[in-house]
Amino acid sequence: MKIINCPLNGQRNAQEFVYGGEVEPHPNPHLVSDDEWASYVFIEKNLSGKVLEWWCHVPTAYWFIAERDTKLDEIFKTYDPSKIFKERIDFLPPEDSSKKTTESAVNNMHNTDSIKKNTTEGNS
């Protein structure tokens, strides 16, 4: 049985968790085309190497972020989403929109560049 370290509950069997997709900037649905929105919702990058992923601990419905190596299938770091997402983001209609996306939040993460570098290397 694989063990995943939940930031809230500690070590738990992997069967208590579900995968929630890649962490990527959330576009403003009012400002993007249908194709761009569909791409965000349905298309996974499926990168090889170190990636950021959403995982949920089902018994607590607690979502967190995991840094996982898809080649090794090894999770080497997990943490609360508040480490990246510092504030609530409301996507307002175009006339009121501040054009705020989660991109800045994700880009602010200290090791995003290294993860991008690693995943690029993994694809080459």
Tokens of 25: 């900037």
Residues near another protein (CB under 8 A), total: 12
CB closer to another protein, 78 vs 118:
78
Tokens of 78: 């997990």
Indicate which single residue of 19, 41, 59, 107 sits in contact with another protein (rule: CB under 8 A).
59
Residue 53 binds to another protein (criterion: CB under 8 A): no
Compute CA 66 distance to the chain's CA centroid, rounded to the nearest angstrom: 8
Q: What is the DSSP letter of 108?
A: T
Helix (H, G, I), strand (E, B) or coil at 74: strand
Question: Is the separation of the CB atoms in 44 and 57 below 8 Å?
Answer: no
Residue 62 binds to another protein (criterion: CB under 8 A): yes
Residue 79 binds to another protein (criterion: CB under 8 A): no
Tokens of 108: 């602010």
Residue 18 binds to another protein (criterion: CB under 8 A): no
- The binding site for another protein (CB under 8 A) comprises 1, 8-9, 12-13, 15-16, 57-60, 62
